[in-house]
Amino acid sequence: MNSREKNKSNSLLSDAWRVLKKNKAAATSAWAMVVMGLMVIFGPLVSPFALDQTDWYQISAQPGLASGHIFGTDDLGRDLFVRVMHGGRISLMVGLVATMVSVIIGVSYGAMSGFIGGKTDAIMMRAVDVLYAMPFLFFVILLMVFFGRSIFLIFVAIGAVNWLDIARIVRGQTLNLKGKEFVDAARTGGATTTRIVFKHIVPNLLGLVVVYVALTVPQVILVESFLSFLGLGVQEPMTSWGALVNQGARQMETSPWMLLFPGMFLATTLFCFNFIGDGLRDALDPKDRTRESG
Amino acid sequence: MDKILSVDSLNVSFNTRGTIITAVNNLSFGLQKNEVLGIVGESGSGKSQTVLSLMGLLESNGAATGSAVFKNKEILGLPDKELNKIRGNEIAMIFQDPMSSLNPYVTIGQQMSGVLRQHSKDNKKEARDRCVEMLSAVKVPSPDKRIDGYSFELSGGMRQRVMIATALLTSPDLLIADEPTTALDVTVQEKILDLILEVKEKFLMSVILITHDLGVVARTCDNVLVLKNGIKQEYGDTEQIFYSPQAEHTQELLFKSRELDEPLQKTEPNIEPQTSASIKKLSVFFPLPKNNFFSKTEHLKAVNNLSFDVKEGEILGVVGESGSGKSTLARSILKLQKPTGGSISVFGENILRMNNKQTKKFRKNIQVVFQDPFSSLNPRMTVSEILAEPLDSFFPKTTKIDAIQTITGCLDDVGLGAGFLGRYPHELSGGQCQRVAIARALISKPKLLVCDEAVSALDASIRAEIIELLLKLKQHKKLTMIFIAHDLAVVKKICDRVLVMQKGILIEQGKTNTVFQNPANQYTKDLLDSVPVPDPRLEKEKYRKRLSNRN
């Protein structure tokens, strides 16, 4: 009780942030992601080499400070550091943008469907089922054939598939929240359906959604890597971590650094997001918080 | 008689971020074989912490000092391994909420035999037989079938029976019951309490019963221990304490609980009241899941052909057990639930035939306060946001400054200061949450207020405060109230008229005093009879009567 009085009027989120900071793995991961974000943004600006510039004298060069290629070069003599940073831009952007798109669509769709219920719900959810049934790769190839390859299409393809999961989860949770008395209270308070969904239901889904985002970002990055690996992803000379790993894998025996560096960045990102997701799940669980405050 | 448990100068304290909070202070008591000891107190009085410390179940930041000797063995501070031999074996415990203490994923048999196989080496068949035997001892109908069923198939009362049966499996010497009937209906409570007494005799156990209800104590206990803030107020024979209480706190508790039982001299509403709401032949049916695709859909008749009027300025009580359709009725009147048939008119307008504009005007005039103060406030909104919402939708032209004034004024009405504006619900106590919910209901200046079990989830002393607040507000704002409750004492105290419902059907309606003193219907009589009163002799008389009726 006393501790509660002391730091009064702190919101659930700031409470959660306090708990998150205490979770060493999650806090370290969060900082690591910030550092990585800064690196991929400013790295290419600092580097003397360009993305598609070939250094004729340093083809497949080992990493070394003397040559200026700190991550070495690839089999075409391009600086790997710059390529990894550029690849990071694409990978993280795909991860974040595609996740955001799918979260926005998925949450609105799921919350509406669950809240309105009845026939509307049935129709909306059957539509989701139909989209689920579409084979992902076929869908991607179809898009590529019609519109040609571009990064934008990857966002669309991944976003279009990922929101289905979120919509399902959000709908289930909404059904649960719908029965809560504060929703009835809002209705008797004259609130419209739209207002109830976006003011009362969605904020209460936040914990769930934040955790889902943290777990989806690495998943999306992996999907993009997978597409790039199959040659359906980004187009040369642009690159992504997935594409770099793909190239590196082919040169594994002669120049292992080509696999090592992009692989390391990719793996670190995945680890970090998983730790952050785990930490957020604990931090947003009210039970954990009460135990923590005694 | 030999002593089974003796507790000497027990102290329980909690270390919360450096602050030491004492929950139990220098407490001593004893327990004889086959005795029932009641531990009474309001919440926060340390009654649960006392027994948890004996069982070694304190939270990790708690510490207990002193001595507790159970069957000539010191049990305080015993290592977990030793305690596990005693817990669940020689001392068994049942809890308040039978819904959450049973695992819905395993069958009742698996759950029960799990306990058994921890403590004895019976094989599966023997374990099963023993479980069936115990289920029949607690009078679960057809125990050999129930044992393969799941907990969600049972009613609250039946679940509590299963919990008792589980506790009895290892033939414990001491049964600790922590508010075992608080979550149950009065008629079910009566049966469960009788059952506890019966198994106590049959298995020669001692029982510690923790409760806040003095009526329950009067009905079941030999000795009573009254606690307040972790300090012993009074300890002794039940009759002695009930008929000549020494401690001030005991007198206060007894006064409060008796006050609710006394017939009240109510002032009749002086003006000839107009009808503010009129319900005619209202029915609300819910379709039940079909057995197969072709079978006819069966319906649960939650409210069945109900007709009554609500007069302006009165408090109309609606009572009944859980499942009697009280809340469905409330939801229909609030236009949150579409009725299957009948009509509801509020202030002369049929609420079932309203367009959006009329609905909004209607909602402004009728507001609601729900049971659970925590779930009725959105945990992600501050108090001021919660109160601003109805203001926004009913008076969209209010300026910001006016809105803040209205909100502060409304908070002031319900006894909360402006300091609460920026708080979130989880930073408030249950009573404060309920005050905020009342403020939210009153901010649109309604004429009719529906209270759906508005005080049931609150502590006795807070309940009294909230009731007082409601009565005060009703006077000031000239409210009409529909007061739904399963707590008959509260209804008796504040309502002008009552409706008694059972399984969706109106059993009886009339002036409160008439219904409570001369109930016309047998069901009403049973309902009234099963409320325990804080009078041990009378309760023992009733118990004997019930026993002889049964034999």
Q: What is the pLDDT of residues B91-133, one digit of tens each?
A: 888 887 766 777 878 888 888 887 777 766 667 888 888 888 8
Task: Report the residue count for chain A.
Answer: 294
Alpha helices in B366-453 (DSSP H): 383-394, 400-413, 430-442
Candidates B15, B346, B354, B380: best to mutate against A (most CBs of A within 10 A) is B380
Q: How confident is the model at residue B1 (pLDDT cuts 50, 70, 90)?
A: low
Q: Which one has a higher pLDDT value, B463 or B368?
A: B368
User: Smallest CA–CA separation between A213 and chain B, in Å?
Assistant: 20
Give the model's confidence band at B272: pLDDT under 50 very low, under 70 low, under 90 confident, else very high. low
Name the band, by pLDDT with cuts 50, 70 and 90, for residue A39. confident
| Segment among A69-78, A97-106, A212-221 with least mean pLDDT | A69-78
pLDDT (tens digit per residue) in B449-471? 999 888 877 777 778 888 888 88
| Interchain CB distance below 8 Å, A3 and B19 | yes
Question: What is the biggest distance separating any 2 CA atoms in chain B, rounded to whole angstroms?
Answer: 76
CA angle A129, A207, A289 (to 5 degrees): 145
Rounded Cα gap, residues B220 and B209, in angstroms: 9
Query: How confident is the model over B534-550, as a mean pLDDT?
Result: 82
Q: Which residues of B touch A18 (CB under 8 A)?
A: none
- Asked whether B284 and B464 are in contact (CB, 8 A), the reply is no
The whole-angstrom separation of Cα B130 and Cα B200 is 18
Is residue B37 over pLDDT 90? yes
Query: The complex's ipTM?
Result: 0.70
Does the predicted model carry a pTM greater than 0.95?
no
Given the structure tokens 């009064």, which residue do they identify? A8
Q: Backbone dihedral region of B211: left (phi > 0), alpha (psi from -120 to 50 degrees) or beta?
A: beta
Higher-confidence position of B445 and A17: B445
Residue of A3, A9, A186 with shortest CB distance to B389:
A186
pLDDT the model gives residue A126: 92
Instruction: List, for residues A139-161, the tens digit of each pLDDT value.
Output: 888 888 888 777 778 778 888 88
B328 vs B339: CA distance, rounded Å? 9
Q: Do A189 and B389 touch (CB under 8 A)?
A: yes
Provide the pLDDT for residue A38: 87
Give the whole-angstrom CA distance, residue B113 versus residue B236: 38
CB contact under 8 A, B17 and A184: no
Please tell me the predicted confidence (pLDDT) of residue B450: 92
- Which tens digit of pLDDT belongs to each residue from B254-269? 887 776 666 555 555 5
Q: CA-CA distance, B410 to B444, in Å (whole number)?
A: 10
pLDDT confidence of residue A285? 60
Min Cα–Cα distance to chain A from B243, Å: 37
Q: B interface mutation test: which of A3, A177, A188 has the most B CBs within 10 A?
A: A188
Q: Of B183, B140, B146, whose CA–CA distance to B161 is shortest?
A: B140
Check whether the bond before A237 is cis (ω within 30° of 0): yes
- Selecting from B364, B378, B423 the residue whose C-beta is nearest the C-beta of A182 gives B378
Tokens of A235: 């187009």
Helix (H/G/I), strand (E/B), else coil: A248: helix
User: From the CA of A4, how many Å to the nearest CA of chain B?
Assistant: 7
- How far apart are alpha carbons B427 and B104 in whole angstroms? 32
The H or E element spanning position B298 is none
Structure tokens at B323: 């499942």
Three-state SS at B173: coil
CA distance A99 to A210: 11
Q: Does B518 touch chain A (CB under 8 A)?
A: no
| Between A208 and B206, the higher pLDDT residue | B206
Q: Across the interface, do A190 and B360 touch by the CB < 8 Å criterion? A: yes
